[in-house]
């Protein structure tokens, strides 16, 4: 299969997307032809570096262009680790940053480029780049060092001009945007993703599904975003089920990757998402994996919004869409769901359980005693504020208690 290369999203120049060639070949080609880079800094997942030959192969392929590396990061892109990488990229004079791995590495790379452009080296200085900070500085510079992402999960952050990063001095996760630039190029290689733990692959796939569902559930969506979200669901639902049934199915994996692209095309159009994402941002620092937050929260948020009468018509349209998908319909029938009775939360629950993903906070050791703090942090999140049904602290707690277990 020859390389397919061009803009990831119709009508937009960036990000660029490449698939069809081995990732190392594609990176080397575009390091020369697209970025004219000579000092490449790599952020690689620990598992890929330690348990596979992919990192060593990439390092050999880059040769003299290889300038430095960070092996491994903790989940949710901690500020302290971001600042360590900032120092590393400065020391080697990096002119291209490449990630080989999943979501936290992607957000970290975006933050590193942003921090470099603004000469940031401390927690206090990083805080001044945060849009919601009372200490936000004037004259913030845009990211300059380009980022290339070679993702191994389906979380989709590689397509986004936003980055989530956690201040490990306070435990709160923040969203950065504005002058921050998204990655310039995404390289998809489904064979590489066969090294991804099944739980990570499938749970981040549910996160991509959640992008589609919350876009279609939004009261502020539009025809273009709805089209992208529907295309994403049409690829992701059967692709995830086939990936579960046969982890070596590379066509299904590429189908999932392109579905995640469609999901991000939808959400990148500026449609505000809802509480599944918003509350999920605060479950992360409490110990829930990036994709697993959607596995737990999406069905409950759908049910909450439906009960409040916030987006009934939009949810009913998604229900119709899901019943029309043969793979999804097969699951619903196996689980005894009836088209006339099951709501969207029920259908999402069936899909997530079929993938053997977690469904409760109890599975992560989160009890009633932690809910107040999670709810208070969640209320500061922009996507809790844009949830179709207005949310106060009691509303967030109601959703959290639905998934307590």
Contacts of 187 (CB under 8 A, 6+ apart): 18, 19, 23, 26, 27, 30, 148, 149, 150
Question: SS3 for 99?
Answer: strand
- pLDDT tens for residues 308-335? 999 999 999 999 999 999 999 999 999 9
Question: SS3 for 262?
Answer: helix
Q: Which domains does the chain have, with CATH numbers?
A: 4-188 (3.40.50.1970), 197-402 (1.20.1090.10)
> What b/e readout covers 162-177, taking b as 16+ CB neighbours within 10 angstroms?
bbbbbbbeeeebbbbe
For the CA atoms of the chain, what is the radius of gyration?
Answer: 20
Burial environment of residue 51 by CB neighbours within 10 A (0 to 12, 13 to 18, 19 or more): exposed
Whether pLDDT at 345 is above 90: yes
The rounded distance, in Å, linking the Cα atoms of 30 and 18 is 10
CA distances from 40 to 27, 65, 94, 354, 400 (A): 11, 6, 6, 41, 43
The rounded distance, in Å, linking the Cα atoms of 94 and 96 is 6
Structure-token match 């430095």, residue found:
68
Share of the chain above pLDDT 70, in %: 100
Mean of pLDDT values over 168-183: 89
pLDDT (0 to 100) of residue 290: 80
- pLDDT tens for residues 269-295? 889 999 999 999 999 888 898 899 999
Whether pLDDT at 1 is above 90: no
Structure-token match 């359980």, residue found:
353
97 φ/ψ angles, rounded to the nearest 5 degrees: -115, 130
- pLDDT tens for residues 41-63? 999 999 999 999 999 999 999 99
């Amino acid at each position: 299969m020859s390389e397919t290369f061009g803009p990831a999203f119709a009508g937009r120049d960036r990000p660029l997307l490449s698939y069809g060639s081995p990732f190392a070949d594609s990176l080397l080609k575009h390091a020369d032809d697209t970025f004219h880079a000579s000092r490449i800094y790599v952020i690689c997942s620990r598992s890929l570096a330690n348990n596979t030959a992919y990192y060593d192969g990439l390092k050999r392929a880059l040769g003299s262009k290889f300038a430095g590396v960070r092996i491994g990061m903790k989940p949710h892109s901690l500020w302290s680790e971001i600042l360590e990488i900032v120092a590393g990229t400065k020391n080697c004079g990096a002119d291209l940053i490449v990630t080989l791995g999943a979501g936290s590495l992607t957000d970290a790379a975006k933050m590193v480029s942003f921090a470099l452009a603004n000469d940031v080296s401390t927690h206090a200085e990083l805080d001044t780049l945060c849009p919601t900070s009372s200490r936000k500085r004037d004259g913030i510079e845009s990211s300059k060092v380009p980022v290339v992402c070679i993702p191994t999960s389906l979380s989709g952050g590689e397509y986004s001009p936003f980055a989530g990063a956690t201040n490990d001095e306070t435990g709160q996760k923040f969203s950065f945007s504005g002058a921050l630039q998204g990655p310039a190029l995404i390289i998809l290689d489904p064979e590489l993703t066969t090294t991804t733990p099944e739980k990570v692959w499938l749970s981040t796939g549910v996160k991509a599904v959640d992008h589609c569902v919350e876009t279609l559930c939004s009261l502020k969506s539009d025809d273009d975003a709805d089209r992208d979200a529907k295309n994403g669901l049409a690829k992701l639902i059967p692709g995830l089920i086939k990936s579960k049934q046969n982890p070596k199915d590379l066509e299904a994996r590429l189908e999932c990757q392109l579905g995640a692209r469609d999901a991000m095309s939808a959400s990148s159009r500026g449609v505000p998402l809802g509480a599944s994402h918003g509350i999920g941002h605060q479950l992360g620092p409490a110990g829930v994996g990036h994709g697993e937050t959607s596995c737990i929260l999406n069905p409950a948020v759908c049910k909450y919004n439906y009960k409040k009468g916030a987006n009934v018509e939009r949810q009913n349209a998604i229900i119709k869409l899901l019943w029309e998908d043969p793979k999804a319909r097969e699951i619903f029938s196996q689980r005894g769901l009836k088209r006339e009775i099951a709501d969207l939360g029920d259908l999402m629950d069936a899909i997530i359980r079929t993938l053997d993903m977690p469904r409760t906070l109890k599975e992560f050791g989160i009890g009633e005693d932690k809910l107040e703090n999670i709810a208070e942090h969640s209320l500061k999140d922009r996507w809790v504020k844009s949830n179709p049904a207005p949310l106060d602290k009691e509303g967030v707690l109601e959703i959290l208690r639905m998934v307590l277990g």
